[in-house]
């Protein structure tokens, strides 16, 4: 069915919506504190105290990574997401949207080759999504999808930007600190997070694609408050790079009027 195929294409997008990233936002403090002090004094010389030497900040590991990430995320009320999906090195889609945590809502525009060079739109409010797809729905019109609408409902479930982060949990195979990097003028720490592919996708309500590797590695860039600012991954020739900005800015997401909804 044409509609099913089109929505299935859109449903692939939220695989990377947790997707999230470097930005210029100003998130609130998370309350998370590293176990190693930020600096420690050296021994005092006979007459003059030696200069204070900075000690590298504590790096997150397999035990501390998820709690620190969750602590930072729960302080955020809203954010903007931008992203680029490439297939075998060719840009297939770009995304731009805003999301809120309470209530769980999202307004996203997606454009590129995946939509014939045109723009698709999706509005999600709690467990209901409204999708407008070029060539499938009339211009400016939306199809309403409920969570109970079978496979199409997976679009709603996976639209939550925290879904990928939640899928880490017990599936976390390893956490590796790659290094400190400056992205968009901001100092960030990059971590490579390895998960069990099948289990992680199952928690995102997705099936394991044929030929997929047993493990999947996400690269995440965190700020000093352990808030994820950038995320990327590669799976079977599909690459996604996502960023998150404008944290805690006022955002209002509303459903399309009834006049714009078609069956």
pLDDT tens, the chain, 263 aa long? 444 444 444 444 433 333 333 334 444 444 444 444 444 444 444 445 555 555 456 799 999 999 999 999 899 999 998 989 999 889 999 999 999 988 889 999 999 887 888 999 999 898 888 999 898 899 899 999 876 665 555 555 544 556 778 778 877 889 999 999 999 899 999 999 999 888 887 777 677 888 889 999 999 999 999 999 999 999 888 898 989 889 899 999 999 999 999 98
CA atoms within 13 A on the CB side of 28: 10
Domains and CATH numbers, the chain: 2-25+57-262 (2.50.20.20)
Predicted TM-score (pTM) of the model is: 0.74
- The answer to whether 193 and 177 have CB atoms below 8 angstroms apart is no
Q: Which of 14, 254, 8, 263 is nearest to 142 (CA)?
A: 263
d(CA 15, CA 22): 18
In the prediction, which pLDDT does 180 show? 96
CA angle in degrees (0–180, nearest 5) for 215-219-224: 140
Q: What is the CB neighbour count within 10 angstroms for residue 122?
A: 26
Tokens of 177: 């600190």
* Cβ–Cβ under 8 Å, residues 60 and 70: no
pLDDT digits (tens, 9 = 90+) for 220-254: 999 999 999 999 999 888 898 989 889 899 999 99
The region that residue 179 occupies, defined by phi over 0 for left and psi between -120 and 50 for alpha, beta otherwise, is: left
pLDDT given at position 171: 79
Q: What's 129-191 look like in SS3?
A: EEEECCCCCCCCCEEEEECCCHHHHHHHHCCCCCHHHHCCHHHEEEEEEEEEEEECCEEEEEE
């Amino acid at each position: 069915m044409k509609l099913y195929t089109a929505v299935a294409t859109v449903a692939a997008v939220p695989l990377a919506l947790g997707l999230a990233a470097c930005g210029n936002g100003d998130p609130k403090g998370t309350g998370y504190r590293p176990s190693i002090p930020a600096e420690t004094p050296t021994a005092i010389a006979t007459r003059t105290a030696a200069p204070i030497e900075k000690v590298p900040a504590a790096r997150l590991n397999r035990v501390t990574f998820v709690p620190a990430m969750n602590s930072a995320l729960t302080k955020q009320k809203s954010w903007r997401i931008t992203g680029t999906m490439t297939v075998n090195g060719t840009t297939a889609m770009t995304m731009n949207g805003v999301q809120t945590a309470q209530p769980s809502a999202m307004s996203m525009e997606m454009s590129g080759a995946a939509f014939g060079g045109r723009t698709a739109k999706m509005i999600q409010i709690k467990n209901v999504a409204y999708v407008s797809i070029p060539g499938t729905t009339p211009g400016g019109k939306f199809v309403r999808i409920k969570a109970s609408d079978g496979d199409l409902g997976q679009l709603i479930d996976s639209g939550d930007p925290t879904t990928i982060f939640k899928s880490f949990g017990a599936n976390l195979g390893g956490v590796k600190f790659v290094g400190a990097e400056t992205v968009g003028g901001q100092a960030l720490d990059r971590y490579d997070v390895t998960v069990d592919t099948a289990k992680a996708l199952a928690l995102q309500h997705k099936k394991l694609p044929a030929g997929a590797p047993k493990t999947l590695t996400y690269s995440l860039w965190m700020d000093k408050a352990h808030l994820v600012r950038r995320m990327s991954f590669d799976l079977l020739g599909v690459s996604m790079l996502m960023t998150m900005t404008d944290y805690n800015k006022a955002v209002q997401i509303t459903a399309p009027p009834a006049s714009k909804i078609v069956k």
